[in-house]
Structure 1
Amino acid sequence: MQVQGGSDTALLPAYNINSSYFEINGYRENSDARKVLNNAQFTWNLNDGSALN
């Protein structure tokens, strides 16, 4: 799942948020796996043309 939005205007934030889930049932005993990943990035464009992440 991914959610992103915000603004390119100076001093207004933009965001990008990701989440994923992986699960597998292994053939042999103790060979199953689960993985959860979450990530969030926020960006503020500054007046001088630089960006703060």
Structure 2
Amino acid sequence: MKFKVIFQEGAFQWFLAYLHVIFQFDYILYRPLIDLVSVCDHRVIRQN
């Protein structure tokens, strides 16, 4: 339940951006994965 709230508020993307700053992740490489997770999660929210 908490995960749905996090995804809905966009906190997940913010969290990844936060990790990017700390660990210097290449955000561009992770962008497709972020988009995929967002799309899948929105589908789950609609189903419920």
The higher-RCO structure (CA 8 Å, 6+ apart) is: 2
Quick check: which one's strand share is greater? Answer: 1
TM-score range, shorter chain: under 0.3
Structure 1 length as normaliser, TM-score?
Answer: 0.21
TM-score by length of 2: 0.22
